[in-house]
Structure 1
């Protein structure tokens, strides 16, 4: 690890950096989080600083390193269903809620009207019939080519810039992160209920580029080119941008939400003052329930603040199901899709005012919060430890922050003491936005995230992608077929780390990949 990277890992220095960042945001009237944690005593805070300091000893595994999700870690036998295990510390009562949430996560919704009145309301335009359809076995989605014409776990997000003074003000106030296409809405729906035309189909073509690594190894990268065919409702706004997104894995979400804002923002350096070339900026969003400004943590561009926000958005936009948080029963249908708005919906007044009334969303949220992170494999093996050293020395840990300690004394989404409270976790992410260069740019602005900006994805569980999903597909659109390809796509702030990886010897590169596969 370089001295700069070591300094980034020291919490006192980071806290000082955050204080400047917090003051800057507060002066702009944006955010005003405390500069340090308020849930801990001074003695506890010192312990947390010591425990989360980046290691410089790669001769052995760190204490508790194999338990990536703290006391919630699953130590079950690794099978294709390893991402579907409950948090290990759930009580019996909460285990029942987990299984109810699981059933609702897998529930296949049907079009209205239907004899199964508790299950109707699908669409009318949609991308999937259930949450599980995209997050198969709670894992990562596939790229489009791997699925042929089926784009179930890949969606095309649509967005355009502000076009009026009112829209500009809404963006400035964070009341809107961007604006939907006036005809096709926020997402292209490639499926529809009977009697209605789907909006269109996603297409992709690839060009290939050979990259030669140190020692002469050649890796072929696929550059995707996305488009649309069979648009059923007329032309799209010429300013609308297309952003392909595959479904991310579901594990550890409740733990991510439990990380204190102060500890995430401590790593932010939007003005590049520390000189290491890694900036990192916070995603600023509004909590969909309270309307209050919050730190974005979830989604490829950190566009949602909470697990519940993420779930409600998916119900509405992906499936077309209304919830108390998103009560429109027509999902992403626009005023230009009049036939869609004339279709029957699934609201049953005897059940509530939405197609998925409480407790559907709370149970799905609880399930999503408590999908356990699997235990590490081979964490103490010499080749994995060597790969961990290469990971740090290449600069990967500058964005993929290894560990955090979650907030103490918090309550779960069910109002009871949270299973996620005060846990040492190893997500390998700073949960900030970073410029990843032109190669990964989608050209789509999402709040403070530019087209080149992406949230650092957590790496825990990444080594089980093949086991759970049946194939490997990495990055926001699944273009990378191997972990090596995924690393070589890194640009912008990550270009130095990418080049350091490419310049390693073949054995050192393989050791780094072995380390990632152990996560």
Structure 2
């Protein structure tokens, strides 16, 4: 049922099992001994992006990393450095609506200027072509937002429309699985993730420039489903159903699935990018060989520039390997702005959308050959890499410590890995050798039929999602004014989010449902402190 990724089948089975099992129990198992027995494709050697050894560390540093990342068993007091969950870059600024928009505390003065330029471009409103503001035109022609900040509200979490016609921070992915031998080969060789709708492309865009109609409108209906916990408490979960109305060019292909996505928070992305692949792959156990019910799977993608295989880390299904690539795809897909990495001047317009393709684009030859030429993409990438993680709050409070104990004992930490030490050879010193507390393993997990979208994205099946980082989750209401969680915002609070867990998260979910109210409240207090 669950498809293992190819590389794992070539890793020495005994060592891989040992690493996975021992790391989960807090022991070191000679990661340096794990070797790939054969390349993923003929003629390929082990890519740096899938390295299974931490060659950035000497023996002494390996020992230090092993000791500091060992799961705790002492819940009587906070762990050392636990408050600084983003390492030395943690923001100690006053907690307010701008808590997710601060720059990393350890970047240089010169880099602060680069960050602010990137911030200005992140907030920049693009306009349709032709325009007198030639450095800002090129919007669409079809689009979901006019600026990055329009989707990533205050650099935080998006939300469902909730009765408001504005669906800017939530959209629908459109895709079908491979059907022909050629398509299946493209998926296997990782030159494609899936296949878009032939008319509407890979994403439903509800907005358009003057003279063109948007593709359609996302429609959501909810069905309330009561869940009774062990102590008799009844919690109502809302099950969403998605459809599209006002389609501009006929029906969507019946083979295509609709996958709703709210925009994720932006903090700590540069630190997640610098977690060494060896530390991620060591936790993968796609065949559940240790029998603990958790079978995390790495998302392996092909780097669009080098052609090498590497780890997917970003996006709800871990389909994107880098922040730069994520930014480039968002420019082209969400705003319709071409850039050096995704030079699509008409965004997501397909061959079937002739009127869209006939619209003018915003390329200015004197500025470059795309609508957002370098250094625009460089600056937005730097900004996205250096949004600071806020410091923890109330780490020493009794109820928070009690909730942390429940978090561990319920099995939440099996996927929401508390801490890592980033690679020493990170390109930017600010992200180098930092102890961070993201509470994610960056792996794909089967979350059960209840959360399934039925849409394959590369290695991710329709039931699988990347473990979402939990740092900053307790500030969602302060920053974004809501508490909607999960990939489509169906959960209206943290309790509902936990109760939606199925599949590999079912055991932890059931343990939560069996807790007393005091224990449940303590777990929520812990999550709110992150």
TM-score interval (norm. to shorter)? over 0.9
Tell whether the 8 Å contact from 2:199 to 2:351 is kept in structure 1 after alignment. Answer: yes
- Aligned match for 2:107, one of 84, 90, 101: 90
Tell whether the 8 Å contact from 2:21 to 2:290 is kept in structure 1 after alignment. Answer: no
Spell out, residue by residue over 1:345-367, the C-alpha distance to the aligned partner (whole angstroms, 9 max, x if none): 10000100000001000000000
Spell out, residue by residue over 1:361-408, the C-alpha distance to the aligned partner (whole angstroms, 9 max, x if none): 000000000000000000111110000000000000000000000000
Superposition map of 1:252-271 within 5 A: 252-271=268-287
- Aligned match for 1:397, one of 401, 407, 413: 413
Tell whether the 8 Å contact from 2:22 to 2:29 is kept in structure 1 after alignment. Answer: no
Distance 2:74 2:37 in 1: 35
Distance 1:30 1:486 in 2: 41
Distance 2:124 2:30 in 1: 44
- Aligned match for 2:436, one of 425, 430, 441: 425
Distance 1:291 1:224 in 2: 38
Tell whether the 8 Å contact from 1:323 to 1:354 is kept in structure 2 after alignment. Answer: yes
* Alignment size in residue pairs: 508
Partner of 1:60: 77
**Structure 1 residue 212: Cα displacement:** 1.0
Runs of at least 4 residues of structure 1 off by over 3 A?
4-7, 13-16, 22-34
Q: 1:167 to 1:26 in 2, by over 3 A?
A: closer
Tell me whether 1:357 sits opposite 2:383 in the alignment. no
Corresponding residue SS for 2:347:
coil
Partner of 1:215: 231
**Structure 1 residue 23: Cα displacement:** 4.1
Partner of 1:152: 168
- Aligned match for 2:306, one of 277, 285, 290: 290
Superposition map of 1:410-449 within 5 A: 410-412=426-428, 418-449=429-460
Distance 2:138 2:365 in 1: 13
Distance 2:52 2:288 in 1: 19
Corresponding residue SS for 1:324:
coil
Partner of 1:74: 91
Tell whether the 8 Å contact from 1:5 to 1:398 is kept in structure 2 after alignment. Answer: no
Distance 1:476 1:342 in 2: 35
Partner of 1:205: 221
Partner of 1:489: 500
**Structure 1 residue 216: Cα displacement:** 1.3
**Structure 1 residue 343: Cα displacement:** 0.2
Partner of 1:114: 131
Corresponding residue SS for 1:35:
coil
Partner of 1:19: 34
Distance 2:293 2:234 in 1: 28
Q: 1:301 to 1:6 in 2, by over 3 A?
A: same
**Structure 1 residue 24: Cα displacement:** 7.3
Q: 1:494 to 1:14 in 2, by over 3 A?
A: farther
**Structure 1 residue 409: Cα displacement:** 2.5
**Structure 1 residue 36: Cα displacement:** 2.1
**Structure 1 residue 168: Cα displacement:** 2.0
Tell whether the 8 Å contact from 1:402 to 1:426 is kept in structure 2 after alignment. Answer: yes
Corresponding residue SS for 1:282:
coil
**Scaled by the length of structure 2, what TM-score is found?**
0.93
Tell whether the 8 Å contact from 1:462 to 1:517 is kept in structure 2 after alignment. Answer: yes
Q: 1:291 to 1:147 in 2, by over 3 A?
A: farther
Corresponding residue SS for 2:519:
helix
Structure 2 unaligned blocks of 5 or more: 1-19
Distance 1:237 1:226 in 2: 15
Partner of 1:510: 521
Corresponding residue SS for 1:224:
strand
Corresponding residue SS for 1:84:
coil
Tell whether the 8 Å contact from 2:448 to 2:504 is kept in structure 1 after alignment. Answer: yes
Tell whether the 8 Å contact from 2:22 to 2:28 is kept in structure 1 after alignment. Answer: no
**Structure 1 residue 6: Cα displacement:** 7.5
Partner of 1:234: 250
Distance 1:512 1:304 in 2: 31
Partner of 1:123: 140
Corresponding residue SS for 1:210:
strand
Distance 1:8 1:275 in 2: 12
Partner of 2:348: 332
Partner of 2:464: 453
Distance 2:438 2:163 in 1: 29
Tell whether the 8 Å contact from 1:134 to 1:141 is kept in structure 2 after alignment. Answer: yes
Partner of 2:11: none
Partner of 1:415: none
Q: 1:341 to 1:372 in 2, by over 3 A?
A: same
Stretch moving more, 499-508 or 229-238:
229-238
Tell me whether 1:321 sits opposite 2:321 in the alignment. no
Distance 1:393 1:335 in 2: 53
Partner of 2:193: 177
Tell whether the 8 Å contact from 1:31 to 1:294 is kept in structure 2 after alignment. Answer: no
Partner of 2:512: 501
Tell me whether 1:407 sits opposite 2:418 in the alignment. no
Distance 1:240 1:156 in 2: 11
> Please, what is the CA RMSD of the aligned residues?
1.6
